[in-house]
Structure 1
Amino acid sequence: MESARSRHESAAPGAFVAFTRFVLCGGGVGVASSFAVGALAAWIPWMLANALVAVVSTLLATELHARFTFGAGSRATVRQHAQSAGSAAAAYVVTCAAMLVLQMLVTAPGALLQQAVYLSASALAGVARFAVLRLVVFARTRSRAATATPGPRPLYASSGRIAAPTGPEELCRAA
């Protein structure tokens, strides 16, 4: 009998639906993060503020993606958090590099320009993260459901006897 969890896993969303959910969940967390970085940067160095916000937002976003975006329907595993953290570390490097380039090009950038640069860098990194999360981090959840579907009849029966080949491809495999 099929469990509710395996039924839910087999109903993983398609790429378009997953990307839409990713944008809504991850984008919402990203926008909130940009304001949090700006607020924290008033008290601590920007790089440290970005690092702290990146950690908290990554944990939150990974949970949202596990539960809603990629159809896992349950909490993210430690492995998924660790893999997601790797992609978030790359996003952190991208946002820091963008802000450093901005500081080198503009002597005193205003808050609006800083937000625009930060959000643009985050969006670019976000598209790359979507690919990593969908194809690597949460791919195992989808592949488990795919492997649960019955495949071709096995060559050996469960009783240990050899089953008679039913077609030319099984004859080739039996040889």
Structure 2
Amino acid sequence: MAFIRFVIFGGGVGILAGFAVSLLAVFMPWALANAIVTVASTALCTELHARYTFRKGRGAGWREHWQCAGSATAAYLVTSFAVGVLHLVQPAAGTATEQLVYLGASGLAGAGRFVVLRLYVFATRSSRPVRRHGASAVPVQLAA
């Protein structure tokens, strides 16, 4: 069920982000527009995912925002790479083609982000992966 909520919130914001990038790219380089939109959409999604997707019962704290920033950086690199390759292969690509490539890359990056958010960022201590040392189990702790 969390994955469905992730798709609804993250995908909805992602679609809006795609339009925002296209609008901003009229006034600035595409990569800069993507960076600005990635920062804004990540902050919004982190709050939505804390409150609704993973039902933490509160908004996201600084730790969650910083950890989400790491996965958002990877998503930014994936989307920028995909659109950069498109511009190399088809320099006169239209907005619709650019959106298709951007949203496709965002979707792939989003699937990876779900795993990271589920297993590490918004996981409870008891649901985090356990690293085995000999006969005892030690919970894996992430640096804050």
Give 1:79's aligned amino acid. R
State the alpha-carbon separation in 2 of the partners of residues 104 and 52 from structure 1.
22
Flag structure 1 segments of 5+ consecutive residues without an equivalent.
1-16, 145-175
1:132 corresponds to 2:116: yes
Bigger radius of gyration: 1
The change in CA–CA distance for 1:142 and 1:60 in structure 2 (over 3 A counts) is farther
Aligned to 1:63: 47
Q: Distance in 1 between matches of 2:5 and 2:32?
A: 29
2 CA distance for matches of 1:20 and 1:103? 32
Cα distance change of structure 1 residues 36 and 142 upon mapping to structure 2, 3 Å threshold: farther
1:140 Cα deviation after fit? 2.6
Match of 2:98?
114
Q: Which amino acid aligns with 2:94?
A: G
Alpha-carbon offset, residue 143 of structure 1: 4.2
Check if 1:50 corresponds to 2:19.
no
In 2: Cα distance, 1:26 partner to 1:43 partner: 26
Is 2:48 aligned against 1:40?
A: no
- Give the count of matched residue pairs: 128
- Quick check: 1:123 aligned with 2:128? no
Q: Which residue of 2 aligns with 1:173?
A: none
In 1, the alpha carbon distance for the partners of 2:114 and 2:126 equals: 15
Give yes or no for contact 1:18–1:69 (8 Å, CA) kept in 2. yes
Q: TM-score, normalised by structure 1?
A: 0.71
Partners of 2:3 and 2:127 lie apart in 1 by: 18
Aligned-residue identity in percent: 57
Which AA in structure 1 matches 2:89? L
Show the 5 A alignment for 1:1-175.
17-140=1-124, 143=127
The one-letter code matched in structure 2 to 1:90 is A
Please list every run of 5 or more consecutive structure 2 residues that lacks an aligned counterpart in the other structure: 129-144
Task: Tell me, in whole angstroms, the C-alpha distance in 1 between the residues paired with 2:108 and 2:85.
Answer: 15
Q: Is the 8 A contact 2:46 2:68 kept in 1?
A: yes
* Larger strand fraction of residues: 2
CA deviation string 1:45-84 (max 9, x = no partner): 1111000000000000000000000110211010000000
